[in-house]
Structure 1
């Protein structure tokens, strides 16, 4: 199983929630998981109902199986300071550059450098070991940028090619790509059963495959329960008015005579049923599109009360049942 799990998806599909739930699901039986945020939104802190995450690895939760979840919000400026200290031993001089705004300037004029720093920090956590030779973290989960930017974000070697052809930055980019293009990494896509997210998922996976980046699973998020069975959906779609009126009458809602309660309920109920039937048909078509991607698919239910910490653990439990963890 991969050790670096990169989670992406169209905005609004709940990729941060899925990344957090996956981290909890992986934290079983004594496992240690690092959940990494790279967009500076502090979404992880909100989900786990904790204060804003600093630039340090901090324990934020215990998994259902007793493992531990740590979190890190990667800041490009601090990551660059780490990098300058690691390769150039700048120390206080690096901090002086930060005060002068040089670091912000560097990451602005060279966006590829920013991505190398962000992905590089996550890859370093994947490879980090104790003195005894054991990995510090069994898994690293990255809440990554959305689908439209994920391939460029991960393909840092190409982004840096024109900026640094030799030297430490070049070697850092190559080291990052060795992790990202290896079996250690899997890029998962989060989608909804709607046309635009499914199309973006298909396009994103096609781009990843063209660049040789490893794809993982598709997570269908916020799946609504099926209210009607297949036969009832077909009946609603065909507008079988007489059958519905008879069923209402049989249920004791007054006779099916003209103007009776059952009669008055037929049209609004049929309209709702038709809308439900249309949604079911759309979702069926989107599932067929996702099946063409030939990737493992997992589904997470829609939590109608919103996502709180209890809901996050519930989603993690669902993922543990479906994922080969």
Structure 2
């Protein structure tokens, strides 16, 4: 069996996209995939060594710091990785309170007075009673970085001839079940502010999020629940007019039996044990218990492969580009992240 990703062209699918939003059901590895995508986007390109990507998180888990084995990230942009050809990945943990302080200073010139509000808990109170404002702050800060123009000799873009500070921004976003509400900030603030700076901020955010600059990618495993959540997420996103991106199948396991053997192993009775025993005899593994155990493993493998094929077929209904990342048996470290990044580039995701 050949995966759809193996047959795809290596031409990048998202060359016009500057904001990659990565979501997925909990436990699918969306933070890992977001990190790998950032590395993939930073590597190569027309300007080797000059590509810069910002990776942002909005859930306050410090998952990016753990992924790149760095110290906890403050509310500032810090470089966390360099690709072999000199591309850079920077990271930012967006804090809603800090973003609100920045927002109050920018639009209302409160300066130190805003910090007094924080000391008395007013900032936390505001974001708790109006969660829509929190989402506007988190998405707003992300979109501000997407739009930020490079200034010669200042900031992360120092020394590079670029239009924007970052060539791309990758957001490690909330899980699939919350992603449409999180991104659809206009509906979230409609009952809070119909005019004024908050409404203007929400409108500016939506102009970025609904444009061709943005793509929302779904990370999934080839299991029924995450696949169904992915299908539901695509439907919700499209109904809201938000730009769906690709499907990234994570932790795909290798297929170790040819197609005819898979079908036979999955049937009642499985593989012919006498035939299996004869094949194992030359290597000294013809013990009946070993043969029985291997036959059972073959049956389990075949059933899983066929079930995964059904899930791939279900995902094809999204009509979105699909990419597959291998299961890393030794866990995810920087070497593993680089491997996943290469796979995403090879398959055309970056």
- Answer yes or no: same fold by TM over 0.5: yes
Cα displacement (A) at 1:272:
1.5
Cα displacement (A) at 1:269:
2.1
Partner of 1:3: 18
**Alignment partner of 2:318: what SS?**
coil
The answer to whether the Cα contact below 8 Å between 1:25 and 1:64 also exists between their aligned partners in 2 is no
Partner of 2:105: 85
Cα displacement (A) at 1:171:
0.2
Cα displacement (A) at 1:299:
0.4
Aligned-residue RMSD, C-alpha: 1.7
Given the alignment of the two structures, is residue 251 of structure 1 paired with residue 291 of structure 2, yes or no? no
**Alignment partner of 1:281: what SS?**
helix
Structure whose alpha-carbon radius of gyration is higher? 1
| Aligned pairs (5 A) from 1:159-308 | 159-238=188-267, 243-252=272-281, 261-308=286-333
The answer to whether the Cα contact below 8 Å between 1:26 and 1:63 also exists between their aligned partners in 2 is no
The one-character-per-residue Cα deviations of 1:8-47 (angstroms, maximum 9, x if unpaired) are 0000000000000000000022211000000000000001
Q: Distance in 2 between matches of 1:242 and 1:205?
A: 40
Given the alignment of the two structures, is residue 109 of structure 1 paired with residue 138 of structure 2, yes or no? no
The answer to whether the Cα contact below 8 Å between 1:64 and 1:313 also exists between their aligned partners in 2 is no
Go from structure 1 to structure 2 and tell me whether the alpha carbon gap of 1:301 and 1:242 turns closer, same or farther (over 3 Å shift).
Answer: closer
The answer to whether the Cα contact below 8 Å between 2:35 and 2:64 also exists between their aligned partners in 1 is yes
Cα displacement (A) at 1:234:
1.6
Cα displacement (A) at 1:253:
5.7
Cα displacement (A) at 1:202:
0.2
Cα displacement (A) at 1:265:
3.2
Given the alignment of the two structures, is residue 40 of structure 1 paired with residue 55 of structure 2, yes or no? no
The answer for unaligned runs of 5 or more in structure 1 is none
Q: Distance in 2 between matches of 1:88 and 1:181?
A: 27
The structure showing larger relative contact order (alpha-carbon pairs under 8 Å, at least 6 residues apart) is 2
Partner of 2:87: 67
The answer to whether the Cα contact below 8 Å between 2:104 and 2:110 also exists between their aligned partners in 1 is yes
**Alignment partner of 1:252: what SS?**
helix
Cα displacement (A) at 1:200:
0.1
Q: Distance in 2 between matches of 1:229 and 1:155?
A: 46
Given the alignment of the two structures, is residue 24 of structure 1 paired with residue 39 of structure 2, yes or no? yes
**Number of residues paired by the alignment?**
321
The answer to whether the Cα contact below 8 Å between 1:45 and 1:53 also exists between their aligned partners in 2 is yes
- Structure 1 residue runs of 4+, over 4 Å off? 239-242
The answer to whether the Cα contact below 8 Å between 1:26 and 1:33 also exists between their aligned partners in 2 is yes
The answer for unaligned runs of 5 or more in structure 2 is 1-15, 153-161
